[in-house]
Amino acid sequence: MADKLTTFPPDKVWNCSNDNLFSNMDSNLKVSEWLGGLPHRDRNIVSSLSKALVICWQIWNDRKASILKNKKPFHYRFFTRAMTMVNDYFKENSSHLEEAGAVAEENLIKWQCPTSPYIKINFDGLVSNSVAVGGFVVRNWDSKPILAGALNLGFVTINVVEALALREALIWARRRNLKYVVVEGDSKLVIDAVRDACDVPRNLRSIIEDIRWCVTNFHDIKWRHIFRKTNFVTDAIASVGLKRKDLCICNACLPMEANMAFLFDCNGTGYVRSYSL
């Protein structure tokens, strides 16, 4: 997508900027190759890659709009409009970026790697058009996926599908002989029910008993309730179940539908709850 932003050579578009980040772009490089070489991690300022990606997205939207209106694309107008949008965006969020630097890591909305030898299981469920699907992903201390799964459960409630997704994840983790586990999910009810911190709803009792039995097969297991926004990779994996009737298991990789979410999750720096786009 990045290499097809405009009908003009990329360097003519980016040279409209006074910013050295863009004006020094090598005309022989594809935009995607250039983006791949930009710095993407900086705890104190917005990274060059973040700026470039937001501008790319805005140019792409303007390009689509011009095609729909049968107007000839004008790259300078696209770029200035994109720069205005990006300036407004970072002006709006600059205070939040400064605040994020002072916020404790556990208060940021971001997936956190487990500490070796622990692996981390994330589970999730969703209901779309009355069809319930669940998903889970198991990742190691380097963020690398060990396995992922998606299952179509038909017509059940969201609490049931969340519990079934967790049970399936634990079964597969046990099959892989994983012993030290951190479990994260955005269903507080399911996590509290497993930990015996609340009354178990009648429709979950048999599933929760299965989960508690699975837990006895691990040397140590830790439980953590997280924000739904932190769980978006697992949500993307669960959505695969809408397209399949049988259980889908991916070994040492993720379903193609979740790859973009996974890359964003790995490269992102996290954000506080008030961060806006």
Measured CA to CA, the distance from residue 119 to residue 126 in angstroms comes to 24
Considering just the CA atoms, what is the radius of gyration of the chain in Å?
22
Q: What b/e string do you get for 5-15 counting C-beta neighbours within 10 Å, with b at 16 or more? A: bbeeebbebbb
Tell me which residue of 27, 26, 35, 30 sits closest to 3, measured CA to CA: 30
Assigned token pair, 218: 């691990």
Distance separating alpha carbons of residues 196 and 143, to the nearest angstrom? 30
The structural architecture, per CATH, of the domain 119-267 is 2-Layer Sandwich (3.30)
Rounded CA separation 73/197 (Å)? 60
Tens-digit pLDDT string for the chain (277 aa): 444 444 444 555 555 555 555 555 555 556 556 566 666 555 545 566 666 666 666 666 666 666 666 666 555 565 666 666 656 665 655 555 555 455 445 556 778 899 999 999 999 999 988 899 999 999 999 999 999 999 999 889 999 999 999 999 999 999 999 999 999 999 999 999 999 999 999 999 999 999 999 999 999 999 999 988 889 899 999 999 998 888 999 999 999 888 888 887 776 555 555 554 4
Task: Name the token pair of 164.
Answer: 């079934």
Length of the chain: 277
Instruction: For residue range 7-26, list pLDDT tens digits in order.
Output: 444 555 555 555 555 555 55
Residues 127-138 pLDDT 10s:
988 899 999 999
Q: Which two tokens stand for residue 186?
A: 């955005």
* HSE toward the beta carbon, residue 223, CA cutoff 13 A: 17
Mean pLDDT of the chain: 78
Cα separation, 125 vs 159, whole angstroms: 8
Listed by start position, the domains of the chain span 2-102, 119-267
The model carries a pTM of: 0.63
CA–CA separation, 225 vs 80, rounded Å? Answer: 43
Q: Phi and psi at residue 272, in whole multiples of 5°?
A: -80, 165
Q: Using an 8 Å Cβ cutoff, are 89 and 78 in contact? A: no
* Integer CA distances (angstroms), 202 to 47, 111, 168, in order: 50, 32, 20
pLDDT tens for each residue of 64-100: 666 666 666 555 565 666 666 656 665 655 555 555 4
